[in-house]
Amino acid sequence: MATIEERYAEKFAKSLEWHRRGTSLFAGGITHQTRFTSPFPIYYDHAEGPFKYDVDDNQIMDYVMGSGVLLMGNSPQEVQAAVNAEIGRGTMLGGSTTHETRYAEAIKQLMPSVEHIRFTSSGTESTYLALRIARAYTGKTKIVKFHEHFHGWHDYVTPDSGQSLGGVPQAVLDSVIVARADVAEVDRILSADDDIAAVIVESSGAHFGLHPLQNPQFLHDLQEVTGRHKVVFIMDEVITGFRLSKGGAQGRWNLEPDLTTMAKVMGGGMPAGAVGGKPEIMETIAFRNDPEWDTRLRVAQGGTFNAHRITAAAGIATLEAIANGDVNATADAMGQRLRDGLNDAFTRNEVTGHAHGIASITNVNLGGECNCDRGICTMSYDEIDRTMASEKVTALRRAMLVNGVDVMAGRCFMTSSSHTDEVIDRTVDAFSQSLRDLREEGVL
């Protein structure tokens, strides 16, 4: 019988041809550090609903969902209609539009803590801007982030984020303090150093909740301790915004951060991002008709594509569908059905492991068992890392693709309102077959 890798090479033969062309053009042969899949990445052609189709015309059940962007699935009709209505009226007007105001209003309706807002074009830009705002507002220098928490690829959030540090100056590294997800440790850090501007947290825990925070208690405790020390509390909702609930993690757990960073879902599949929060903090960006402030002290923010009108149209359509419909409820229900099915597959195949997650985000662990409620996993960081070795993750993603399913990073499933019971059940069958395939090859 052919190995998983041999079946992969046969099934995705045209992708291999495109990958060979790409290797002569792209550094490392890819355009995003997570897009490589051993032995080569899949090249996709089009997508609809819970499915995407590759250049070999394979139908793939999609749980990457644009790296978490597509809460309503691929090519939702509402978004297509909104973009089509605007695309012929000018893609770039080089000035303010009514779209940006309606876009901001749609966000604020769902996240009331976002009183003032500035748009960006990505999550990385959003966290970069938020940290600069916090430093300007407080007059302080250092940032506290958490072990393994990912906030993009810019210098100030790269340390201990699961990324390499090539090109990051030592001076920047010296300004970033990495803490364990322990509020007592954060309290000690803030008590010992009065030059800390902000604490930033990935609201569901590191890597899409693979290493979950014990919420809501953790976030409430963090909000309290940052407030007591007068340090800016930044909730990074790039992943969780409008997905963990209509109002994101802060809406689900009743939090009021000083600043919120957003991207992904808010753009409806288009490049989008934003920073928002308390007016007195956000106004560090504003002109004051004071030469000293305007030219030297103010936080400068450009961005040719900030609140791009086509992005704004897609974002407004998405946020209105979330606000007025059952998008979240459906995606969450599909997430729960998936977790139940995956856990049953572990049991039926006598493989140690479990699926856990909340709302429409599901993570799997191969080789680790715990007594959690399959919502927020209670395993330690170290135990999760030990049981989810990189070779297992790579092998699982490859096996799942052979069996017709794309899983984000080989361990995270993002459901959408376009997923159905039938698609979920097919996915569970594919996962069960993948476990058997991996066991046969000695991976499990």
Low-confidence winner among 23-27, 107-111, 146-150, 202-206 (lowest mean pLDDT): 23-27
Per-residue pLDDT averaged across 225-249, rounded?
A: 98
Residues 145-201: tens digit of each pLDDT: 999 899 998 888 888 777 788 888 999 899 999 999 999 999 999 999 999 999 999
**Does residue 90 register a pLDDT over 80?**
yes
Residue 210: per-residue pLDDT: 84
Beta-sheet pairing, 142-146 with 196-202: parallel
**Does residue 311 register a pLDDT over 90?**
yes
Percent of the chain past pLDDT 90, that is, above it, reads 81
What pTM does this model have? Answer: 0.94
- Calculate the average pLDDT of the chain: 94
**What's the Rg (C-alpha) of the chain?**
22
Residue 73: per-residue pLDDT: 98
For residue 333, give both structure tokens: 């229900």
- Residue 255's pLDDT band, with cuts at 50, 70 and 90, is very high
Q: Is the peptide bond before 216 cis (omega within 30 degrees of 0)?
A: yes
**Does residue 437 register a pLDDT over 90?**
yes
* CA 429, 432, 434, 436 torsion-angle sign: negative
**Does residue 313 register a pLDDT over 90?**
yes
d(CA 293, CA 262): 27
- Residue 290's pLDDT band, with cuts at 50, 70 and 90, is very high
Residue 421: per-residue pLDDT: 98
Of 421, 422, 402, residue with least CA distance to 410: 402
Percent of the chain past pLDDT 70, that is, above it, reads 100
For 157-304, list the strands marked E by DSSP: 176-179, 196-202, 205, 211-212, 232-236, 259-263, 273-277
**Does residue 280 register a pLDDT over 90?**
yes
Residue 128: per-residue pLDDT: 97
Non-local CB neighbours of 341 within 8 Å, separated by 6+ positions: 424, 425, 427, 428, 431
d(CA 134, CA 121): 19
Residues 25-53: tens digit of each pLDDT: 888 777 877 777 778 999 999 999 999 99
Contact by Cβ (8 Å): 71, 331: yes
- Structural domains in the chain, sorted by start: 4-74+327-440 (3.90.1150.10), 77-324 (3.40.640.10)
- What is the residue-wise DSSP string for 375-413? SS----HHHHHHHS-HHHHHHHHHHHHHTTEE-BTTTEE
d(CA 436, CA 349): 7
- Residue 367's pLDDT band, with cuts at 50, 70 and 90, is confident
Check residues 349 and 30 and name the one with the higher pLDDT.
Answer: 349
